[in-house]
Each structure stands twice: as structure tokens, then as C-alpha cells.
């Protein structure tokens, strides 16, 4: 028989109360851990996605640049267009390696519960996305966009359309056109997977937007010149907005940091409430076990032993709650992510809730500290009980 | 404790309490001596001072005045001022308690209840706990919890718990109050047997029938030991 064993057994005296207290601790730890894991995963995913794009600057029609960038990345439709002649002007600028135009158009199909994003691109987009691969491992050649009815499918788009073979026909009633699948891209882990790619000229004609584009994605010879080239672009094109991708990342993470600070404050309140719950549970336990404490003192326990016993019970309670909370967060992370994804701008395609062992340890240690602090008063109360009065109590 | 010493030597013990503005004299100068192996009964009605006496000789409380030595350790008088830690240690090493309502821990088995006093010594002795439970006739109840035991069985577990630290002194406060006559006799027999093995037993009771089993009977009334 050890003090720890006695402490654990004592918690079983009122199992329902113990379980409820553990649940309250677990819930607050789960929220704290989810928040930390989400923050890490979101930043990492966002950075990866932006880096994978190989795009250092983005030129879009004037308006809210972050909304525009978000729409471009997520496949939304932008109000307003750019004249396609801007692309050659941008390409001629010093430091610009590739300037790739695109025209985006969304076809909403509420009856199927989906929105198909058609993206008009040309050779330059293939040059920019030089990591794109076809099923056989080869890079997509310009020939795939050579014919008027060519349609290159992103990996997810092909799954949605249930198309597996090159040469299959796809009928798009909204624009009264039939396309021929010229290739299916391998998954990239980005929004690119969900798009239907067609030749830029075809897109302009079919969507009735002659010589219009929605964005120019720019790769620089030297990414460190992004700010300088961006300034020059803004001077040259008054009707366009220039988005620096690093700035975008910084702004998005700053927004997330603000939100995180608010949520952390809420979590702190939740943890404080669960600490009060622990304190209440332990205090009630001490009051109910006054006579037992007297008996333990009679058998030779010192005040320090009684203090340690109650403190150990609190420690056990919060430790189980803390570890349970981490497990709960790990199990529920997919569901939580699905909910969060709907509210987060620029949500990366890869998982945003990454299990971070360091964060798990921090959360458990934090809740242990809170629990230990909450256990001090009940432990002191227990230790200060006078033995003969305790033995007299009912 | 040295050979030939009394386990308890109390002279002119006084204990007064203050209840509100009222001063209550629970003990008014009692003398108690108990030798190793002696079985004494402290007999008296409710409120006579029996429990107060047990609390003092059990080092759970300190007398207001008088001389008290327990297991060779001066507790009161002659300048003795033991610390609380010293009293804890004395109880841990020399004294075992038995209560009227058993006071077992409900979430522990009989084996675990018996070993509770060892926790405070950072010791474990499952073999000795088992031996003691076998000795009190509970070999078949080792893993049973208190709610699975009868009153007599619970008191036997309490006796085994009181003996786990091999005490010199066993203090029993109305140990048979909640037991039927047959079980009461069995418990008394057990305590008498323990006294023959050298353990000093001081049993507080209001039951006159118990006095017949004792080596010594101390009649207490209104905080004073009455002359026989």
C-alpha cells in the first residue's frame, strides 16, 4: 500500500463526481491543445501551400487584395478583370522570370451541390507550375492545351467528374460546349487539384470575356526582390492590386494570432473554471472525509502526510484529465478541423491540426500546475483538521 | 521502551476544555498505570471522561496538567514538550487504535486497510498483513471490501490494522458497541489473547459485563477514577 494507491482509491469513493471533474479538466485541456495544434498546423500548411505555388507576386484587379488572393487560391470568382496586355508588360520588367495569366470562372451546380472552377491558362502557367505531373510521371506538355476543346483535369476534378481516361468527352451545358480530356494531373496537395483547366483563349471565348484575365501570377528570378518589383508593378498599373505572397502569409498569420489571443483568453477562463471545479471537488471530499482523516492521523499520519495525500489526489485528478484531454483532442481533431475550415480564410488543403508532442506536454504540465494550485487549499484544510475533532465528527 | 517500564504512566492528569465561555473539566486528576501485557478496562457511563483519557494516553491530545509517559516517552509534566511530529511518530511506532464503528476505508480491501498505517513509515508488509488477517480468522476475506464484511469481520480487520506496526499499546474505544453478543465475546477473547502476548490493552466501555474479562478495571465517573 502506498500513498499514491491510497489517493487513487480515495478518488473512487465518489466515482461520478470524480469522473465529472476529470471531464471538465479534459475538456479545457482538449480546447487548449486543439488551439495550439491548429495554430501550428495552419501556419505550416499555409506556408507550404504558398511555397508550392511557386508564386512570389500576384497581380489582381483592384479591390481587397487578401480577398482577391483568397478567392484565387480557393477558386472563387473575382468581380472585375484585367486587360491581358498587362501580362507582356509585367513579363518585360526586370527581375520577372515568369508572368502567367489565368482567367477563372465558376459554374455553380446547386442540384449537384458543387461549384466547378474553370481556369483558362496557357503555356506560361505550365512553366510556372513545373511540378505538375501526369499519371505516367511526365510533365504536361503545351500540346495538352493546343486544341480548342482541350480540358486538363486536376486530380480531384477528375474524381468528381468520374473521368479516368484521356480522350473522354465532357459536356458542359451551361456554356453549351463539349470538351475532350487531354490529361489528368497527379495530386499536388493544393487547390490546383480541384480545377478544370482549359486553353486561355477558349475560356475567354466561352465565358464571353475577350482579352480579359483575372490574375497574373508572377515568379521572380530572385524572390528577395519581391518588395521592390511589387512597388514597381503598383506604380505602373494603377488599376491593379499587387499581392506579395510573404506579406499575405504574414497578414493571415497576424490575423490568426489576434484570433488566437482572444481564444487563449477564453481558454484561460475555461481552465480557471475547471480549476475551481477541482478545488470544489477536493474541498467537498475533505469535508466528507473528516472522520477518515482523523482515523489516518490516529494511525500515525502526520499533517504533511495528510497534505500530501489530498494533493496527490488532486494531481491524479488533473493528470488523468490532462491526458484524457489530449487524447480527446487527438481523436476529435478531424471533426474540429472540418468545422474550423469553414471559418478560416485561405485554409490550406493539408491537415491544419497537427499533433504536436511538445504542445501536448505543455498542456499537461499547464493543467498539472493549475491543478496543484487548486489543490493547495483543500490539502491545507485537510492537514489543519484537529484529530480529536475529526474522530468526533459523523 | 525499556523492560519493566509501564506502557502508560499517568499521574494527576487534568484536561479542561473551553466550550464558548464555559470551562469544562473533562478529567480532574486521574492516575492510570498500565504494564506490558496488562488488559485494563476503563469503565464508565457516557461523558465520564473515557474517550478523553484514551485521547491523552493515545497522544492525540495533550493534558492541561499532570504527568504522562507513554511507551517510555514523556508527554506531559517535568518540562516535557513533545512536538507534534514526535507525537505522530509515537502513535506510528507504539500505539494501535480500535474504534466502535471500525473506521475502515471503504474503497480498500481488508488487506489494504490493514496496511494503511505502514504508508506513514514508507513500508509495505503484505506478508504480515496476511498473517494478521489469518490470525483474526479472516483468511478467506483478504480481498473483500468493508461493505462485503459483517460487523464482527470489520472489527477484526480493525484489530489487524491496529497490530500491523507491532504496538506496545492497544487502545480500544467501545470496540464491541456495534456487535452482537457472540461477536463481542470473540473480539474480547482476541484482545485478551493479545495481552497475553505482551501488548498492553486499554479498553473503554460502559458495558459492565466486559469488566469481568479484564486484569484491571478502572471505574471513571465525572472525570475522576473511582476507588473500588
Domain ranges of chain A: 3-48+251-392, 63-238
Give residues 170 to 199 of A whose Cβ lies within 8 Å of B: none
Which residue from B60, B92, B105 is facing A388, i.e. has the nearest CB?
B60
Cα B205 from chain centre: 12
* Sheet-wide strand order for B95-98: B95-98, B169-173, B200-205, B39-43, B216-221, B224-226
* Class level of CATH domain B8-226: alpha beta
Q: Which of A239, A154, A236, A231 is nearest to A198 (CA)?
A: A154
Q: How many CB pairs under 8 A join A and B?
A: 71
Instruction: Tell whether A12 lies on the interface with B, counting CB pairs under 8 A.
Output: yes
Q: What is the DSSP letter of B218?
A: E
pLDDT at A244 over 70: yes
- Burial of residue B145 (number of CB atoms within 10 Å: 0-12, 13-18, 19+): middle
**Segment of A108-117, A135-144, A218-227, B28-37 carrying the highest mean pLDDT:** B28-37
Which residue from B105, B120, B121 is facing A292, i.e. has the nearest CB?
B105
Cα B170 from chain centre: 4
**Chain B positions in Cβ-Cβ contact with residue A298 (cut-off 8 Å):** 58, 60, 91, 97
Q: In chain B, where are the structural domains located? A: 8-226
What is the three-class DSSP state of A135? coil
**Helices assigned H by DSSP within A182-301:** 200-206, 226-236, 245-288, 290-298
| B101/B157 Cα distance (integer angstroms) | 12
Nearest-Å Rg of the Cα atoms of chain B is 17
| A201/A372 Cα distance (integer angstroms) | 69
Q: Residue A67: what pLDDT?
A: 59
Ranking A169-183, A241-255, B160-174 by mean pLDDT, the lowest is A241-255
Measure the CA dihedral B139/B140/B146/B150, to 10°.
Answer: -100
pLDDT tens for A61-103 read 887 555 555 555 555 555 678 899 999 999 999 889 999 999 9
**Which run of H or E residues covers position B8?**
strand B8-19
B-chain residue closest to A2, CA distance = B119
pLDDT tens for B131-177 read 999 999 999 999 999 999 999 999 999 999 999 999 999 999 999 98
Q: Angle formed by the axes of helices B110-119 and B126-135, to 10°?
A: 130
Percentage of chain A with pLDDT > 70? 88
| B169/A300 Cα distance (integer angstroms) | 13
Q: Which of B53, B47, B85, B49 is nearest to B66 (CA)?
A: B53
Given an 8 Å threshold on Cβ–Cβ distance, is B88 in contact with A300?
yes
pLDDT at A300 over 90: yes
* Over residues A140-164, mean pLDDT: 87
Instruction: Tell whether A153 lies on the interface with B, counting CB pairs under 8 A.
Output: no
Q: Residue A269: what pLDDT?
A: 86
* Geometric angle at alpha carbon A158, from A156 and A164, rounded to 5°: 135
Q: Which of A274, A270, A296 is nearest to A391 (CA)?
A: A296
pLDDT tens for A18-57 read 999 999 999 889 888 887 777 777 777 766 666 666 788 8
Number of neighbours of residue A238 by Cβ within 10 angstroms: 7
* Over residues A178-185, mean pLDDT: 92
Q: Residue B2: what pLDDT?
A: 63
Q: Which of A27, A8, A17, A32 is nearest to A324 (CA)?
A: A27
Query: Do B191 and B203 contact (CB within 8 A), yes or no?
Result: yes
Q: Residue A42: what pLDDT?
A: 73
**Chain A positions in Cβ-Cβ contact with residue B119 (cut-off 8 Å):** 1-3, 6, 301, 305
Report the mean per-residue pLDDT for chain A. Answer: 85
Chosen from B63, B119, B126 to mutate, greatest number of chain A CBs within 10 A: B119
Query: Do B172 and B203 contact (CB within 8 A), yes or no?
Result: yes
Q: Residue A78: what pLDDT?
A: 58
| B150/B152 Cα distance (integer angstroms) | 5
User: Which residues have a Cβ under 8 Å from the Cβ of B215 and sit 6 or more positions away?
Assistant: B38, B39, B40, B195
Number of neighbours of residue A137 by Cβ within 10 angstroms: 7
Residue labelled with grid coordinates 480515495: A10
**Helices assigned H by DSSP within B77-140:** 84-94, 110-119, 126-135
| A294/A309 Cα distance (integer angstroms) | 13
Q: Residue A347: what pLDDT?
A: 61
**Helices assigned H by DSSP within chain A:** 3-11, 15-53, 65-74, 85-92, 123-128, 155-161, 200-206, 226-236, 245-288, 290-298, 303-341, 357-383, 387-392
Given an 8 Å threshold on Cβ–Cβ distance, is A299 in contact with B117?
yes
B-chain residue closest to A301, CA distance = B120
pLDDT tens for A270-284 read 888 889 999 999 999
| A330/A333 Cα distance (integer angstroms) | 5
* Per-residue tens of pLDDT for chain B, all 228 residues: 665 689 999 999 999 998 888 999 999 999 999 999 999 999 999 989 999 999 999 999 999 999 999 999 999 988 888 999 999 999 999 999 999 899 999 999 999 999 999 999 988 888 999 999 999 999 999 999 999 999 999 999 999 999 999 999 999 999 998 888 988 998 999 999 999 999 999 999 999 888 888 999 999 999 999 865
Q: Residue A73: what pLDDT?
A: 52
Give residues 275 to 334 of A whose Cβ lies within 8 Å of B: 291-292, 295-303, 305
Given an 8 Å threshold on Cβ–Cβ distance, is B119 in contact with A1?
yes
Q: Spell out the long-range contacts of B12-20 with Cβ–Cβ below 8 A and sequence spacing 24 or more.
A: B12/B65, B12/B66, B12/B67, B13/B53, B13/B56, B13/B63, B13/B65, B13/B66, B13/B67, B13/B68, B13/B76, B14/B63, B14/B64, B14/B65, B14/B66, B15/B49, B15/B52, B15/B56, B15/B61, B15/B63, B15/B64, B15/B223, B16/B64
Amino acid at each position: 500500500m502506498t500513498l499514491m494507491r491510497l489517493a487513487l482509491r480515495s478518488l473512487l469513493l465518489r466515482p461520478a463526481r470524480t469522473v465529472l471533474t476529470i471531464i471538465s479538466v479534459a475538456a479545457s485541456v482538449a480546447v487548449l491543445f486543439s488551439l495550439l495544434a491548429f495554430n501550428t498546423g495552419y501556419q505550416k500548411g499555409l506556408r507550404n501551400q504558398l511555397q508550392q505555388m511557386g508564386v512570389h507576386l500576384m497581380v489582381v484587379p483592384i479591390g481587397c487584395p487578401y480577398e482577391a488572393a483568397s478567392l484565387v487560391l480557393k477558386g472563387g470568382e473575382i468581380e472585375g478583370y484585367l486587360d491581358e496586355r498587362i501580362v507582356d508588360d509585367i513579363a518585360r520588367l526586370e527581375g520577372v522570370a515568369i508572368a502567367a495569366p489565368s482567367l477563372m470562372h465558376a459554374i455553380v451546380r446547386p442540384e449537384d451541390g458543387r461549384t466547378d472552377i474553370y481556369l483558362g491558362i496557357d503555356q506560361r502557367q505550365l512553366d510556372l507550375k513545373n511540378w505538375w505531373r501526369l499519371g505516367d510521371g511526365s510533365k504536361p506538355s503545351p500540346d495538352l492545351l493546343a486544341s480548342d476543346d482541350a480540358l486538363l483535369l486536376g486530380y480531384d476534378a477528375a474524381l468528381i467528374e468520374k473521368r479516368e481516361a484521356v480522350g473522354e468527352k465532357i459536356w458542359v451545358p451551361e456554356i453549351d460546349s463539349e470538351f475532350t480530356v487531354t490529361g489528368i494531373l497527379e495530386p499536388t496537395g493544393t487547390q490546383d487539384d480541384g480545377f478544370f483547366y482549359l486553353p486561355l483563349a477558349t475560356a475567354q471565348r466561352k465565358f464571353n470575356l475577350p482579352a480579359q484575365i483575372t490574375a497574373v501570377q508572377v515568379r521572380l528570378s530572385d524572390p528577395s526582390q519581391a518588395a521592390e518589383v511589387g512597388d514597381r508593378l503598383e506604380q505602373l498599373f494603377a488599376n491593379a492590386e499587387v499581392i506579395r505572397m510573404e506579406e499575405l502569409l504574414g497578414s493571415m498569420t497576424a490575423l490568426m494570432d489576434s484570433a488566437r489571443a482572444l481564444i487563449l483568453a477564453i481558454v484561460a477562463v475555461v481552465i480557471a473554471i475547471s480549476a475551481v471545479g477541482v478545488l470544489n471537488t477536493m474541498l467537498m471530499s475533505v469535508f466528507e472525509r473528516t472522520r477518515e482523516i482523523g482515523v489516518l492521523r490516529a494511525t500515525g499520519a502526520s499533517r504533511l502526510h495528510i497534505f500530501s495525500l489530498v494533493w496527490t489526489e488532486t494531481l491524479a485528478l488533473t493528470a488523468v484529465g490532462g491526458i484524457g484531454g489530449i487524447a480527446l483532442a487527438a481523436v476529435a481533431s478531424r471533426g474540429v478541423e472540418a468545422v474550423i475550415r469553414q471559418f478560416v480564410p485561405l485554409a490550406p488543403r493539408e491537415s491544419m491540426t497537427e499533433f504536436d508532442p511538445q504542445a501536448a506536454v505543455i498542456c499537461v504540465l499547464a493543467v498539472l500546475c493549475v491543478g496543484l494550485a487548486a489543490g493547495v487549499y483543500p490539502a491545507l484544510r485537510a492537514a489543519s483538521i484537529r484529530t480529536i475533532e475529526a474522530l468526533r465528527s459523523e | 521502551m525499556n523492560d519493566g517500564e509501564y506502557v502508560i504512566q499517568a499521574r494527576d492528569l487534568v484536561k479542561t476544555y473551553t466550550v464558548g465561555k464555559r470551562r469544562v473539566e473533562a478529567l480532574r486528576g486521574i492516575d492510570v498505570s498500565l504494564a506490558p501485557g496488562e488488559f485494563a478496562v476503563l469503565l464508565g457511563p457516557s461523558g465520564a471522561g473515557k474517550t478523553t483519557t484514551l485521547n491523552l494516553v493515545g497522544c492525540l491530545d495533550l493534558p492541561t496538567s499532570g504527568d504522562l509517559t507513554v511507551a517510555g516517552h514523556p508527554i506531559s509534566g517535568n518540562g516535557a514538550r513533545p512536538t507534534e511530529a514526535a507525537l505522530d511518530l509515537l502513535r506510528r511506532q507504539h500505539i494501535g487504535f480500535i474504534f466502535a464503528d471500525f473506521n475502515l476505508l471503504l474503497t480498500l480491501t481488508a488487506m489494504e486497510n490493514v496496511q494503511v498505517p505502514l504508508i506513514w513509515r514508507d513500508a509495505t508488509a503484505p506478508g504480515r498483513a496476511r498473517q494478521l488477517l489469518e490470525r483474526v480468522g479472516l483468511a478467506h476475506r483478504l480481498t473483500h471490501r468493508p461493505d462485503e464484511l459483517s460487523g464482527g469481520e470489520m472489527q477484526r480487520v480493525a484489530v489487524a490494522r491496529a497490530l500491523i506496526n507491532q504496538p506496545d499499546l492497544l487502545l480500544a474505544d467501545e470496540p464491541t458497541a456495534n456487535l452482537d453478543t457472540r461477536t463481542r465475546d470473540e473480539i474480547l477473547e482476541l484482545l485478551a489473547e493479545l495481552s497475553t502476548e505482551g501488548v498492553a490493552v486499554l479498553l473503554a466501555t460502559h458495558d459492565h459485563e466486559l469488566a469481568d474479562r479484564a486484569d484491571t478495571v478502572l471505574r471513571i465517573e465525572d472525570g475522576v477514577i473511582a476507588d473500588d
